Amino acid sequence: MDKKIVYSGIQPSGSLTIGNYIGALKNFIGLQDEYNCLYCIADMHAITVPQEPKDLRKNTLDVLSLYLAAGLDPEKGIIYIQSHVPQHAELAWVLNTITGLGQLQRMTQFKDKSKKYTDVQAGLLNYPVLMAADILLYGTSYVPVGEDQKQHIEITRDLAQRFNSRYSDTFTIPEIMTPKVGARIMSLKDPSAKMSKSDSNKDAFILILDSEDDTRKKIKRAVTDSSGEFNYSDDQPGLKNLINIHASFSGMSPEEIVKKYENLGYGEFKEDLGEVVVEGLRPLRERYKEIRNDKEYLEKVYKEGADKASYLANKMLRKVYKKVGFIPR
């Protein structure tokens, strides 16, 4: 693999939002020609919180179908299901042996998520170690992530450096790749929080697979602010979020959007934004329906992807096992 490697994954823990599309899927497409890309459906990460098995199976194939519908090409990159490549779990175990307990307990996501459960499982605590294994297994140079995942990349870099220092150079030290616009799409009802499909208020997020009418309605109900001014500013987080969404679908810059709507008001802007999002998602939604019903094609993609990923993963894992002192099988 002569080009640098980009690695990314999305959990199949429910339907994906336009935040997932703008912050991840949409940006994946442009990377395929410039880099060697691996795109994982992170089902092993998903079970760090309780999942209904039949829903997890459905959601896994939904995400795979959305990957393909969005334009990811299995001939250009490697698209696979995480649990189909057991080397992820094997490397995670080795990395666990050089990871400090306190380091994991200080992770912001662990602290936030563990508050929701009275009985916190070890998988939730060890989530960052498995994520580090995902990334380091393939000699990854770049990981496209949003702000909320940066801490996980930091611990990945730390573990790579720790292993390299102890056993000699083995892992590439990955860097963060952040998109300029739309890296973090916020809730339509609370712009201080990231858009999330787990939000109790269904109007707070737009699912990629929502109906066109629901998409328009949710945008009309979205929070702006009471000032009445049309600015792209941190002082108007609700409006700024909507402008980011518009920019991500229309290709216009935030400045161009402000100039167009500064004398027209929020109502007309939301009306137009609804159409921009609907039109932007329509080809994806239509292509998704075709792909999701083609079980034979989906199976072909994930089997071939697992074979390609396993080949690369085995090369790295053999090297790691040799360095830690395991006898070759």
For residue 196, which amino acid is it?
S
Any catalytic annotation for residue 197? yes
8 Å CB contact between 25 and 70: yes
Q: Which residues, 6 or more positions from 299, have their beta carbon under 8 angstroms from its beta carbon?
A: none
Q: Which residues, 6 or more positions from 281, have their beta carbon under 8 angstroms from its beta carbon?
A: 18, 21, 208, 215, 249
Any catalytic annotation for residue 180? no
Confirm whether residue 236 is marked as ligand binding.
no
- Residue of 4, 76, 113, 260 marked active site: 113
Confirm whether residue 146 is marked as ligand binding.
yes
- Residue of 197, 217, 260, 308 marked active site: 197
Confirm whether residue 195 is marked as ligand binding.
yes
C-alpha torsion sign, points 131, 68, 294, 207: positive
For residue 103, which amino acid is it?
Q
For residue 264, which amino acid is it?
L
8 Å CB contact between 323 and 98: no
Confirm whether residue 19 is marked as ligand binding.
yes
- Residue of 3, 58, 76, 194 marked active site: 194
Confirm whether residue 192 is marked as ligand binding.
no
Confirm whether residue 13 is marked as ligand binding.
yes
Confirm whether residue 41 is marked as ligand binding.
no
Any catalytic annotation for residue 194? yes
Confirm whether residue 20 is marked as ligand binding.
yes
8 Å CB contact between 167 and 223: no
Confirm whether residue 319 is marked as ligand binding.
no
Q: Is 50 helix (H, G, I), strand (E, B) or coil?
A: coil
Confirm whether residue 147 is marked as ligand binding.
yes
The annotated binding site is made up of 11-13, 19-20, 134, 146-148, 185, 194-198
Annotated binding site for ATP: 11-13, 19-20, 146-148, 185, 194-198
Residue set of the binding site for L-tryptophan: 134
Active site residues: 113, 194, 197
